[in-house]
Structure 1
Amino acid sequence: MKLASVLAELLLEHGWRKLLVPLKYICKKNSILQHIAIDILLDKICICPGHRTSKTLSKELGIQILGFRGNDYSDSVVIKKKQITPTLLSKCICKEALIQLAPISPIFIIDMSLWNLHYDDEKRELIEQLLITLNVVRQYLWDRCLIITNPCPEFLSMFSKATKGMRIQINIQNTSTKRLLEDLDLVEKAVVLDPYANEDLTDDEVIKFKVFIIGGILDKGNRMPRATTKLYYSEQLNELEIPRKRITLRGAIVGVPERINRIVQILLKNIIEGYSLEKAIVTSMTKSDKIMRILYEIQKAKVSKIDEIYLIERFSWLDISKDEVEEALKRIK
């Protein structure tokens, strides 16, 4: 269940259906309730009873979102926690109440045991990927569903500098993935995502697994072939008989996004939004991913005559744009 849905249910349990929110949340592109729920869990704000004149702007999950001036009345209001009096605090929805109901799965474990194999620029970019991944997770769940294992001192130092001034609660565990799974009794619910695994991850299996292990790897120059496979054995995950699965698109890994944040996005679209794996992959692909896949399919099909009409009809399942078609034609010629 999405975190926003949990908050909506909690509001309804309190009898609140008209929530007055600050302007900063109204301007958000995605779910307003999701953004509010994240900030509650980060201990920034609470939702308290409050009757104020305002204007209904939208409705989300049965909750009316109010803002600006108007003739409507709110029954609840978002307030910064530091501004709440002790008397009012007991009547509010704060971190302590929401965290008890917040989703605890799926869990994404990023194993950083191969950190030292990266160049400096790759290390910096890898940290950027982790922060983007956190933002992806926050669109559906919250920080504690993202776990980092095997962090070395250099990683911790660089990560600390990169997140200075930010309020985040990523679960960084100074232990191995193997030990963590054993300690939390999650061995039978885990899977390692490896593009070079022998078995494809299916829609039915995504539902079965609760823990998805991803290698903290960014290999710009293809210096670390089959790195996740090596991680699987070096970290002794094979001893736990944890399955290795690859995410494929119609049986091939070509064009399937490799970045950590994109992989997590694919899985969350499938698990939370109910997308098929194919739809989740296609909607998460970049322009370069799609062009790479088109070139692969054309080479495999050994087609002699290729034009714009052929590409549009042949690859309608990739939901390709005109720009992507034109770029693919340039590459072919």
Structure 2
Amino acid sequence: MKRPGEILREILKEKGVESIGTLSRKWPSGEDIYQELALLLLEGDGAIVKLGEPVKESWDLEGRKKGPSLYAYVRPCMVDKFEVVVSREDLLHKLPDYPWIIVDLMFWDKHIPKEKGKVSLQLRETYAVMRRMFWPRRLAITWVNEEFKRMSKLPLNKVEAFEGSTADFLKLRGIERVVLLDPNAQEVLSQDDLKEKVFIIGGIVDMKGDKKGTTAKIGEELESKGIEVLRRKIVLRGDIVGVPDRINHIAEILLRMLYGENMEKAILAVQAPTHARWRLRKEIPKRKIRYLIDGKLYLVVEKELYDELKQWLNIRWEDFVKVLRETGMVALERRRIHHLNKISVYRLDRSGGKRVILLKRAALLCYNC
């Protein structure tokens, strides 16, 4: 799968165009001006033409400023005055019809007002993700109602805002099988699943904590209408803990995977320290060592564990220390732990076992870093 900006570059290379200028004040900005330029063309907002006289300034296909160019982007009102080099139709011809990313709002009315506001915000951010990484016309929002239209503040004319059900949307397009992204699914999203035409994300925010299993009901509704549903989850090293759960984050992880990134790399690209700490709270206790020193119990982990976890979690040292304090643990350098092990005796107990040290001075070795 390729971004519209990449497809535009390929078309320009085929036509021998090395740089593009502009005759309009409307010119893309940001990290990838050719992605934005491709979206302008796809939205019918102008074309790339060949001029009679070169413009003074242009941008090469890497987005760097160059000198004069005979090729420029112009607005619709000026297209007829020049020879068109790349039009909307040229891009559409090479842009695939799929995949679709659908956000299903079937359970919109189950949300409290604050949750509805969160759903609307996350969908605005999903629209921004689709502009940056793909094409908003491949974002569909189903079960759209009047309340959502008022609250969303989305340019609904630039996405597929469908007032009917997801099943009706799919049947109109002859689609009989979809991937439903569900954190409670049994199977993990695989490379084979990425070949499907449609991916569904539940438009659900659970601030009250009473919507567990709701995404599965979206799948059940689709199956009752004759749609085959592949329920899949996105995991980080075998666990959903630490995987961002906002609608826009899930959409970005999915798009990154469609562009060829592996699941772990895609997750880390959008994982905030907050999400990383969720996983940290689960990972650190797995590595604890219990020491009974002069009658006092210490829970100890290796200080070097931070470097190990940092390779696949977006954590900072302060996050590591914060979770240690929350869990009542201490971190020691590996060499100190080796010393403690030498002077301790291992004894089994109901919690699985601990190392017992009778020397009072050994307690001085334990401290929070």
- The match for 1:131 among 124, 128, 133 is 124
TM-score by length of structure 2 reads: 0.77
Structure 2 gaps, min length 5: 290-298, 329-369
1:194 aligns with 2:187: no
- The match for 2:165 among 170, 173, 176 is 176
Structure 2 CA distance for partners of 1:85 and 1:314, relative to 1, 3 Å: closer
Structure 2 CA distance for partners of 1:264 and 1:167, relative to 1, 3 Å: closer
Aligned mates of 2:321, 2:144 — CA distance in 1 = 44
Cα deviation digits, residues 35-88 of structure 1 (max 9, x gap): 11112222333222134353566542xxx6546xxxx32121122223x05332
Contact 2:306–2:317 under 8 Å retained in 1: no
- 1:102 is matched with 95
RMSD of the alignment, in Å? 2.5
Q: How far 1:31 moved relative to its partner? A: 1.2
Query: Where does 1:312-327 land on structure 2 (aligned, <5 Å)?
Result: 312-327=307-322
Structure 2 CA distance for partners of 1:234 and 1:38, relative to 1, 3 Å: same
Aligned mates of 1:236, 1:45 — CA distance in 2 = 43
Aligned mates of 1:319, 1:119 — CA distance in 2 = 32
- Opposite residue 8 of structure 1, the aligned amino acid is R
TM-score by length of structure 1 reads: 0.85
Structure 1 gaps, min length 5: none
- 2:272 is matched with 286
- 1:259 is matched with 246
SS in 2 for 1:100: helix
1:222 aligns with 2:224: no
- 1:8 is matched with 9
SS in 1 for 2:148: helix
- 2:84 is matched with 91
Cα deviation digits, residues 149-193 of structure 1 (max 9, x gap): 12223223333xx13xx58510112222122223322223x1111
Contact 1:59–1:65 under 8 Å retained in 2: yes
1:113 aligns with 2:106: yes
120-129 or 251-260: bigger deviation: 120-129
Q: How far 1:241 moved relative to its partner? A: 3.0
Aligned mates of 1:97, 1:300 — CA distance in 2 = 55
Query: Where does 1:10-49 land on structure 2 (aligned, <5 Å)?
Result: 10-21=11-22, 25=27, 27-28=29-30, 30-49=31-50
- 2:256 is matched with 269
SS in 2 for 1:252: coil
211-220 or 178-187: bigger deviation: 178-187
Structure 2 CA distance for partners of 1:208 and 1:167, relative to 1, 3 Å: closer
The structure showing larger relative contact order (alpha-carbon pairs under 8 Å, at least 6 residues apart) is: 1
Contact 1:312–1:320 under 8 Å retained in 2: no
SS in 1 for 2:72: strand
Structure 2 CA distance for partners of 1:302 and 1:309, relative to 1, 3 Å: closer
Aligned mates of 2:58, 2:168 — CA distance in 1 = 50
Q: How far 1:325 moved relative to its partner? A: 2.7
Structure 2 CA distance for partners of 1:300 and 1:209, relative to 1, 3 Å: farther
Structure 2 CA distance for partners of 1:237 and 1:263, relative to 1, 3 Å: farther
SS in 1 for 2:127: helix
Contact 2:46–2:73 under 8 Å retained in 1: yes
Cα deviation digits, residues 254-287 of structure 1 (max 9, x gap): 1111111101111111111x21111111222111
Aligned mates of 2:13, 2:305 — CA distance in 1 = 52
